[in-house]
Amino acid sequence: MAHLASEFAGIKSPNPFWLASAPPTDKEYNVRRAYEAGWGGVVWKTLGSEGPPVVNVNGPRYGAIWGGDRRLLGLNNIELITDRPLRQNLREIKSVKRDYPDRALVVSLMVPCEEEAWKAILPVVEETGADGVELNFGCPHGMAERGMGSAVGQVPEYVEMVTRWCKASTRMPVIVKLTPNITSILGPATAALKGGADAVSLINTINSITAVDLDAMAPEPTIDGKGTHGGYCGPAVKPIALNMVAEIARNPETAKLPISGIGGVTTWRDAAEFLALGAGNVQVCTAAMTYGFRVVEEMKSGLSQWMGEKGYASVDQVVGRAVPNVTDWQYLNLNYVTKARIDQDACIKCGRCYAACEDTSHQAIAMSGDRTFTVKDEDCVACNLCVNVCPVENCITMVEMPKGQTDPRTGQVVGGYVNWTTHPNNPGATCAAE
């Protein structure tokens, strides 16, 4: 079993799986049980300033979309930060941390955008023995209307300013949690770096309406006839999160900034993908909310087994491995030729590839009278759609055409690496090899 021990922004934990700041980490009862189940760390549900706590709507608070067999694919919520008194949370944090010294315990914070407010809360958190703080600049609903959460996270200047205040007022590591509800993640990420952040974590939830109640004519979840946008998370957001993590990891200015990857981590494989794209650890919310705390067992054993098979001795060796292979479109090899291949033994003859290619792509699949489906190499552009719609995994694969062979589609011999920057069709092409 490969070694899963993790150190993230100076915070140690026995494995890289943390629970994200959310209902699973809302109170002592949950966090103790999460640690018992094997989670490496938690980010405590976001705390607000001293005084009367925020008030949540009674509910419904969640909306969802489902895939086949009602598998939960996306969850949306309109919850706020903790609605329990600050002092009670702090007491509980202290007690849990004392009993689980080896686990990471980071406290998420969101207070008004004033230096005094941050200066007031940081020492009391420090006093609990917590390992670090995470600044919640991401919550897209409710708190944003009050000038907090994503209202701060969407303005890089604020991100930098608040981060700087915090760094000046605490010795604890400061993680800045980013909102995806922006046009480029590099703005706030760079701002966090400039403010002195020890790390960033992303993504928080995405503005969303999951469904409309067509009888009530109102968005869901519907509260007394009205609805509002919520924050979207779960498996559906993973591709968005992966891209944002990779953008930060491959940007020279932010490349060294530790990243806690969040968004749709559901199995060990999702976690491995975040790590490969540069995340130092991962945080999980929806998977735990869907299946309970025990999912971490599968995540840990799966990651460890895979690392063992690949010969990675530690999590560090995985982090960022795929980053050098994330590039811009213009650098992709235009001479790389593959063709779809259908494994006739695995084929169940549903014809979905045929419908997809014939109706919407390149008319590159032939269908015989006995429902044998074959790829016409002379028409296949290798778009991969057939692979994606085929219900049988690995039935259709993309087979590379070796250099020197003639692509029957273009009539051209497969050559070496050529990209758009030097392509003759590109008006802005720089002359190659001169």
Partner 1 sequence: MSNTHRTPGVVPGRLAAGAYAENFSDKVPPLDPHEAAVAADRCYFCYDAPCTRACPTAIDIPMFIRQIAAGRPEAAARTIFDRNILGGMCARVCPTEQLCEAVCVREAAEGQPVEIGRLQRFATDALMAGGSHPYARAASTGRRVAVVGAGPAGLACAHRLATRGHDVVLFDAREKPGGLNEYGIAAYKAADGFARREVEWLIGIGGITIENGRALGRDLTLDALRADYDAVFLGIGLAGVNALRAEGEDKGHVRDAVDFIAELRQSTDLSKLPVGRDVVVIGGGMTAVDAAVQSKLLGAENVTIVYRRDRAQMSASEAERNQAAAKGVRIITGAAPVRIIGNGAVREVEFAYTRDEGGSLAMTAETFHLRADQLFKAIGQTLDGAPEGLALSGRKIAVTGPGRTSLAGVWAGGDCAAGGDDLTVTAVAEGRDAAEDIHASLIG
Kindly list the catalytic residues: 139
Q: Does 106 bind ligand FMN (CB under 6 A)?
A: no
Does residue number 369 form part of the binding site for partner 1 (CB under 8 A)? no
Residue 124 has φ and ψ, to the nearest 5°, of -70, -30
Which of 193, 284, 296, 365 is in the footprint of ligand FMN by CB under 6 A? 284
| Cα–Cα distance measured from residue 355 to residue 358, given in angstroms and rounded to the nearest whole number | 5
Residue choice 233, 365, 390, 401 for contact with ligand SF4 (CB under 6 A): 365
Residues 127-186 that bind ligand FMN (CB under 6 A): 136, 138-139, 177
Q: Pick from 278, 258, 282: which is nearest to 268 by CA?
A: 282
Contact 396, 343 (CB under 8 A): yes
Kindly report the backbone phi and psi dihedral angles of residue 46, in degrees, each rounded to the nearest multiple of 5, phi listed first: -50, 130
Binding to ligand FMN (CB under 6 A) within 255-274 occurs at 262-265
Query: How far out from the chain centre does Cα 193 lie?
Result: 20
Question: Which one of residues 51, 52, 69, 224 is an interface residue with partner 1 (CB under 8 A)?
Answer: 69
Using CB distances below 5 to 8 A depending on partner kind, what does residue 159 bind out of ligand FMN, partner 1, ligand SF4, none?
A: none
Residue span binding ligand FMN (CB under 6 A) among the ranges 284-292, 325-333, 368-376, 382-390: 284-292
371 touches partner 1 by CB under 8 A: yes
Least distance CB 75 / ligand FMN (angstroms):
6
* Residue-by-residue DSSP string for 390-407: -SSTTTEEEEEPPTTSEE
Dihedral (CA of 342, 348, 354, 357) sign = negative
**Which one of ligand SF4, partner 1, ligand FMN, none interacts with residue 265, CB within 5 to 8 A by kind?**
ligand FMN
Report whether 21 contacts 288 (CB < 8 A): no
- If the CB atoms of residues 6 and 46 are measured against ligand FMN, the closer one turns out to be 46
- Identify residue 344 by its one-letter amino acid code: Q
- Beta carbons of 245 and 278 less than 8 angstroms apart: yes
- Residue 242, binding choice from partner 1, ligand FMN, ligand SF4, none, Cβ under 5 to 8 Å by partner class: none
Beta strands in 132-178 (DSSP E): 132-136, 174-177
Rounded Cα–Cα distance for residues 141 and 149 (Å): 8
Per-residue x/- track, 314-353, partner 1 (CB under 8 A)? ----------------------------------xxxxx-
Name the residues that contact ligand SF4, by CB under 6 A. Answer: 340, 356-357, 361-362, 364-365, 375, 380-386
